[in-house]
Amino acid sequence: MMLKGFVAGLLLLVGGGVQASDPQPVELIRSTADYVLEQVRARKAELEKDSSGIYALVYKKVLPHFDFRLMSRGALGKYWRKATEEQKEKLAHEFQELLVRTYATTLLNYSDQEVEYLPFRGKPGDKRVTVSTRVHDGGAPPVPINYRLYRQDNGDWKIYDVVVDGVSLVSNYRGNFSAEVKKGGIDGLISTLQKHNQKLRGA
């Protein structure tokens, strides 16, 4: 399962900054970026020696800003309606762990790419917005990486998709998930994700 797009997108959470006057969805990314990058820089030797620290950091500061259940629903597509509540919970849990563990490992190898935040086009009453960015890395062409967020009833914003160079993370996984379900059903897909996570944990 390809994770490059997701990892590249999440790296924005630790690269670059925006003005405090920017809209709330952009400020959400900025504030997370400032804290996480500061922690990684200050504790790099410690985190490289004991990886449990980087996982704890990601789970505490990055994870709360993503709606992995909604992402799992989008990735599972038409099969979501056929899944039991227990299967939905297991799928969301395993999908979350797969993405977060991969990101946490990559975070330690982060280099200071330049991140450009494009003008925010949302309106005050919008419930779904996109934060558009471009990542500059040396002489290579900039890569557009955009966040899709929705506003909850309590006013908080949650990320439900990352689009890298025009490719949606959720849509990209939908093909992978569909193939797994056709082979072994929803339980088969969950089992495949569990095996990937066991490898990432070194189990």
Per-state percent for the chain, helix, strand, coil, to nearest 5: 60, 15, 25
> Mean pLDDT, to the nearest integer, of 8-24?
49
Q: At what angle do helices 52-61 and 24-42 cross, to 10 degrees?
A: 160
Is 4-201 in CATH node 3.10.450.710? yes
pLDDT of residue 16: 45
pLDDT of residue 112: 63
Residues 148, 160: contact at Cβ < 8 Å?
A: yes
Cβ contacts of 99 within 8 Å, gap of 6 or more: 3, 6, 68
Asked if the model's pLDDT at residue 189 lies above 70, the reply is: yes
pTM (2 decimals)? 0.82
pLDDT of residue 20: 37
pLDDT, the chain, mean: 83
pLDDT of residue 73: 97
- Domain ranges across the chain: 4-201
Residues 25, 157: contact at Cβ < 8 Å?
A: yes
Q: What's the length of the chain?
A: 203
Residue 144 to residue 141: CA distance in whole angstroms = 10
Residue 173 to residue 193: CA distance in whole angstroms = 12
More confident site: 79 or 53: 79
